[in-house]
Amino acid sequence: MKASVYIATSLDGFIARPDGALDWLPGAEGDNAGIETPEGEDYGYQEFMDSVDGLVMGRNTFEVVLGFDGDWPYGQKRVFVLSRRPVDIPDSIAGSVEWLTGSPREVIDQLTERGLTHLYVDGGLTIQGFLAEGLIQQLIITHIPVLIGQGIPLFGPVPHDIKLRHIETLSFANGLVQSRYEVVEE
């Protein structure tokens, strides 16, 4: 099973404000960064989404996504919400969203048995847990040129050094910088 991260951070390393707000992201309602995204530019997101057959996210990330304006952003892509407590899943997305519980290793094993081959892992604590257990193979991180000062960090404590191999870095005219890394297996 391959597991990848595709995420944006502020330049100071945060994925959201302390309350989970994403208003600093380009294109977000309120876009405090004031960064315009050229029409049609998705920073490789659709290509990435086409490569995965499921998403794993934590409960907090799921609740933030539920609050987005518009349709469910993942269409019929299978989404697995990790939580120790039952998750209330709206009927409109119940056919493609499922609640799971267990350690990152248990989740990978369950989903591998179900035939999934490439997971998109999203949400701060979820990413941190999967990284700590050595279950992430690829990181695609887009740095937004804004400092928000405090918030939810992308990375937290790790049980040992996690070595990365730089694959490529793309720079966009609006100041976004996207780097792709592979996790080096020891």
The contacts of residue 58 (CB under 8 Å, 6+ apart) are: 81, 82, 83, 122, 123, 124, 125, 126
Stated pTM of the model: 0.93
Residues contacting 96, CB < 8 A, separation 6+: 74, 75, 76, 77, 78, 79
Instruction: With CA atoms as reference, report the closest residue to 79 among 104, 99, 103, 102.
Output: 99
Residue pair 66/92 in contact (Cβ under 8 Å)? The answer is no
Class of domain 2-183: alpha beta
Q: What is the pLDDT of residue 33?
A: 56
pLDDT (mean) for 154-181: 95
| pLDDT surpassing 60 at residue 61 | yes
